[in-house]
């Protein structure tokens, strides 16, 4: 079996964190990879296939380190006020959520390569293409399942599991929050429906449908009680 802890330790070595916090993150990440590897073996995958599939869940280690560092820095401020609660959320929400968001982003970028299958494109008007990456939607249930399972295994609550699974869609909520007020004002002044239709399309394609797909995959891991968090190795 691959040395997941050794792999995680080497890849996360540049993190500028306290030794104890870094070991906790290494333990969480290696535990997730080990559990995923074991599950794949139980489902009939060969050792090589299981290792490759588990390894591929971390698409970009540099991005992951940057995201963990940012989340840990923000969590340190929360810890100052909230004590152990902030540390717990790092393991049950931020770490699985960040990995879920990164994986969904990498999958979307891969589908935008020239060699990838073509997305569905329609036109609202000659200058407004409407692009739907339907292949991305097919991948999102697996992404949501990964985030919810990781959070549940770390002891996450129902809300934390759902939030970790929903991270890719939640990251985009700020955009319609900024866009819609301007669109509505424009529509009221100029009585032009196209901008409002574009905004509604954005909400449907980038928020509603992805969120539904992520939660569909997460559903099996939203049931039942949280698993007992993995203890760090001595």
- Segment 142-199, tens digit of pLDDT: 999 999 999 998 888 999 999 999 998 887 766 555 555 555 555 555 555 556 666 6
> Minimal CA–CA distance to 206: which of 128, 140, 110, 123?
140
Q: Specify the length of the chain in residues.
A: 234
| Element (DSSP H or E) covering residue 129 | strand 128-132
Instruction: Name the H helices within 90-173.
Output: 95-111, 134-153, 158-170
SS3 103: helix
What is the reported pLDDT for 161?
94
What is the reported pLDDT for 187?
55
Distance CA 45, CA 37 (A): 9
Residues facing residue 122 across a β-bridge:
130
In Å, what is the CA distance from 105 to each residue of 27, 35, 98, 100, 112?
Answer: 24, 23, 11, 9, 11
Distance CA 149, CA 166 (A): 12
What is the reported pLDDT for 147?
93
Distance CA 224, CA 152 (A): 9
Query: Tell me, what DSSP letter sits at residue 130?
Result: E
Average pLDDT along the chain: 78
What is the reported pLDDT for 34?
86
């Amino acid at each position: 079996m691959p040395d997941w802890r050794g792999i995680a330790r080497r890849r996360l070595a540049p993190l500028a964190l306290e030794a104890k916090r870094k070991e906790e993150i290494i333990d969480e990440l290696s535990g997730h990879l080990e559990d995923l590897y074991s599950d794949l073996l139980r489902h009939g995958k060969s050792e090589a296939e299981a290792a490759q599939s588990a390894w591929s869940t971390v698409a970009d280690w540099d991005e992951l380190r940057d995201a963990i560092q940012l989340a840990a820095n923000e969590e340190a401020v929360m810890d100052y006020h909230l004590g152990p609660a902030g540390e717990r959320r790092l393991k049950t929400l931020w770490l699985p959520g960040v990995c879920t968001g990164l994986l969904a982003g990498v999958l979307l970028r891969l589908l935008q390569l020239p060699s990838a299958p073509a997305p569905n494109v329609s036109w609202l008007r000659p200058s407004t293409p409407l692009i739907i990456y339907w292949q991305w939607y097919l991948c999102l249930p697996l992404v949501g399942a990964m985030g919810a399972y990781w959070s549940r295994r770390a002891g996450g609550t129902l809300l934390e599991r759902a939030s970790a699974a929903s991270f890719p869609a939640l990251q985009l909520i700020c955009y319609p929050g900024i866009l819609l007020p301007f669109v509505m004002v424009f529509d009221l002044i100029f009585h032009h429906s196209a901008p409002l239709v574009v905004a509604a399309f954005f909400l449907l394609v980038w928020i509603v449908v992805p969120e539904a797909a992520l939660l569909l995959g997460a559903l099996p891991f939203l049931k039942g009680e949280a698993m007992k968090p993995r203890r760090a190795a001595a």
